[in-house]
Every structure is written in structure tokens, then in C-alpha cells.
Amino acid sequence: MYVGMLAGPVLLLVVYFAVPLGGFGPHHPGISWTTFGVLLAVLGAGVLREVRMQVLGQSRHPVPRILILLCGALVVFSTAYLAMSKDPGELDGLVTKVDALYFTVITMATVGYGDIHPAGQAARIVVMLQLLYTVVFLTTGVTALTRQVKTRAVQRARHRGQRDD
């Protein structure tokens, strides 16, 4: 079960590091912003679907979906930051895919060390979008995990109660 849970996120990260991203950046703004917008909409739809399933109590195994949404967000935002870093003045200190992933994780964790920072308007907008996504995502994730732990505890208690009878 755990291998299956990790397969999707690991695959997303492998694709992120393996696929060349030269088609994105300031030389292709239409492609870059359209791709970012579409992928952000897909991530948003995934989070909204998970929220809906949580509210309706229909989410039986939310952890794999949440992990994929989390890694999807890491890849989408890292790619956006990497593309923007090619435009001088947007992101100071970001050069490589590892830098972009690092900045995305640090932003998602709302830590911010200051070594890489958004200097341009577009970069600041994307950082704000990531922070909003993170707040909604974390709320959804915590709710899903809490519900799953509670459900399993109730199931175990019932199972133990049946064995004692």
C-alpha cells in the first residue's frame, strides 16, 4: 500500500527533473502562462474535489490523492519559478531545478530564508497564488487525515468490541 502511495509523487518528481523545460520562460510567455494557468486550474479542481468529498464524507482513502496534489503543486510552482527566473529581475538567486524546488518547498512551508526571493511583479503574484493554494491545501489535508484517523480508530474499536463478545 505504501509503495503505491509513493509511486505517483515519485513519478512526478522524476518527470520534473527529467523533462527539459526550455520551452517555458520570457521568450514564450503565452505558452508559459497558459500552461501554468491550466495546470493551476487542474490542481485547484483536484483540491475542490477533495474538499467536496470530505464535506460529503465520501473520501475513503484521501492520503494518496493528497500526496499527488502536493507533489503536483510542487512541480507546477517549481516549473513556474524556474521559467520566471530566466527573466532578469523576477527571482533573485534561483538558477537550477533544485533551486526552484527548494524555493517552492520553503514557500509552501511559509519559512522564507531570504536567499531566493521574488523581486518582480509576476513572481510575487505567483508566490501569493502558491501561498493561497497552500492554505487551502493544508486545510484539506489536515481535515482528510484527521477524518481518516478517526474513522480507523472507530473501526478498530468496533472490531475489538466484536471480538470481546
Confidence check: pLDDT of 164 > 70:
no
Q: Secondary structure of the chain in the HEC alphabet?
A: CHHHHHHHHHHHHHHHHHCCCCCCCCCCHHHHHHHHHHHHHHHHHHHHHHHHHHHHCCCCCHHHHHHHHHHHHHHHHHHHHHHHHCCCCCEECCCCHHHHHHHHHHHHCCCCCCCCEECCHHHHHHHHHHHHHHHHHHHHHHHHHHHHHHHHHHHHHHHHHHHHC
**Assigned CATH topology for domain 41-164:** Helix Hairpins (1.10.287)
Stated pTM of the model: 0.80
Question: Per-residue pLDDT tens for 14-72?
Answer: 999 998 888 888 888 889 899 999 999 998 898 888 778 877 777 677 777 888 888 89
Question: Per-residue pLDDT tens for 73-98?
Answer: 999 999 999 999 999 999 999 999 99
